[in-house]
Amino acid sequence: MVTAAATRPGSRDVAAPTPLRMRRAKVPRTFYLFLLPTLVLFTLAITLPAVMGITLSFTDSVGFGEFQFTGLTNYIALFSDPAIRSSYLFTIGFALVTVLVVNLVAFLLAVGLTAKIRAKIALRAVFVLPMVISGIVIAYVFNFLFSNSLPQLGQAVGISALEQSLLANPDLAWITIVIVTAWQAIPSALLIYIAGILSIPGEVYEAASMDGATAARRLVSITLPLVAGYVVINLVIGFKNFLNAYDIIVGLTNGGPGTATRSVAMTIFSGFTGGDYAYQMANATIFFLIAVVLAVIQLRLNRGRSAF
């Protein structure tokens, strides 16, 4: 149907001077020229690699040369691979903890930053600042702080747990990744919460105050329910982003000590060097399915509040 419209003879750049909505007007060719280059590039750069990756995940390819289709072999192997399992457990656990930390801090900061305070604009600008700083670079800075400054502080205060670098501790290194990721991710969650809180009409609070609701009561019974939609959006967006953790981990622990903090992205990238190219393609495909599930959840949540 659409193709017919495109090739209809006499389809001109200038629309017919009849009222546009009276009949189904021809689509000016320019509109196709506006859209097609993007569609072509997008297909080559995104869709083609995706299809290629999924196809190769059913083979024994090592990244070059000939390969044979091996069915579900890679997938079956994945599910019994302890390295893969630990990377998923680490990544999902890390994403869950981080998303909770980020949202708790961001929500409290948003409540503070929407209150009547001094230097409101400047304070907001300060709290948003971490968003614009490169993840890998700030991770290198924190790397130094965690391996030098924090142990020094631990010695000075006499907390023996801190005297050794957290980065070298297989059980605690993940905490540093949560801290740095949260440092960088709080701003965007914060801005969304600020928008949410500002969308609550002041009258609601006024009425509650008149009825004698305490501040804590108003937070729990008014602010939280009314920004619940924003909380859910932030949780889903955050979780989805944190699953892709890579830059900050490279800058802090590089997956170590050992493989204690290896994320899924890092195991996938090991397919470049490890000779298990197709195997990591299968890993990426599983990872993709998880992303799709999260995407569906996000779209459903967004539908309620968007124009589309």
Partner 1 sequence: MTAQTLLTTTPAQVQVRPRRRFGRRGGEDRPSWRTTTVLLVCAVAVFLPLYATLTMAFKTTAQTVDGQVFSLPAPFSVDGFVEAWKLTNFPRGFAISVFVTAVTVVGTVLLASFAAYAIARNWDRSFFRWSFFYLLAAMFLPFPVLALSQVKLTGMVGLANPVGVALLHVMFQLSFSVLLFTAFIRGLPEELEESARLDGATTWMVFRHIVFPMMAPMSATVAIFAFLASWNDFMMPSLITADSTLQTLPVLQSVFQTQFSSNYNVAFASYLMAMAPAIIVYLFTQRWVMAGVTQGAIK
Residues within window 278-307 making contact with partner 1, judged by CB under 8 A = 280-281, 284-285, 287-288, 291-292, 294-295, 298, 305-307
Tokens of 69: 């289709």
Using the minimum distance from each CB to partner 1, give the nearer residue, 46 or 171: 46
Give the distance from CA 71 to its chain's centroid. 31
Residue closer to partner 1 by CB (options 159, 221) is 221
Please, which residue, 42 or 171, has the CB nearer to partner 1?
42
CB nearer to partner 1: give 17 or 171: 17
Kindly tell me which residue out of 164, 246, 257, 259 binds partner 1, with binding defined by CB under 8 A: 246
Phi-psi region of 12 (alpha: psi -120 to 50; beta: other; left: phi over 0): beta
- Tokens 């009258």 correspond to what residue? 203
Which stretch of DSSP H or E encloses residue 65?
none
Q: What is the largest CA-CA distance in the chain?
A: 84
Q: Under a CB-based contact definition with an 8 Å cutoff, are residues 246 and 91 in contact?
A: no
CB under 8 A: which stretch of 78-86, 96-104, 142-150, 164-172 binds partner 1?
Answer: 142-150
Q: What residues pair up with 59 in beta bridges, in sequence order?
A: 69
User: Least distance (Å) from partner 1 to the CB of residue 94?
Assistant: 15
Give the nearer residue to partner 1 in terms of CB position, either 90 or 127. 127
If the CB atoms of residues 113 and 166 are measured against partner 1, the closer one turns out to be 113
Binding mask 200-239 for partner 1 (x = CB under 8 A): xxxxxxx--xx---xxx-xx---x------x--xx--x--
Separation CA 55–CA 285 (nearest Å): 10
Residues 98-127 that bind partner 1 (CB under 8 A): 109, 111-119, 123-127
Residue 223 or 261: the one with the smaller Cβ distance to partner 1 is 223
Site residues for partner 1, 70-99, by CB under 8 A, read none
Complex with partner 1: residue 172 or 205, whichever CB lies closer: 205
- Residue choice 98, 181, 188, 253 for contact with partner 1 (CB under 8 A): 188
Residue 125 contacts residue 205 (beta carbons within 8 Å): no
Residue 32 interacting with partner 1 (CB under 8 A): yes
Among 11, 31, 76, 89, binds partner 1 (CB under 8 A): 31
Alpha helices in 158-246 (DSSP H): 173-198, 202-210, 215-218, 224-226, 228-243
Q: Using CB under 8 A, which of 35, 89, 159, 224 touches partner 1?
A: 35
Find the shortest distance in angstroms from Cβ 100 to partner 1.
18
* Number of Cβ within a 10 Å radius of residue 50: 14
Binders of partner 1: how many residues, by CB under 8 A? 121
Torsional class of 124: left (φ above 0), alpha (ψ -120 to 50), beta (otherwise): alpha
C-beta neighbour count of 206 within 10 angstroms: 10
**Nearest to residue 241, comparing CAs of 74, 42, 103?**
103
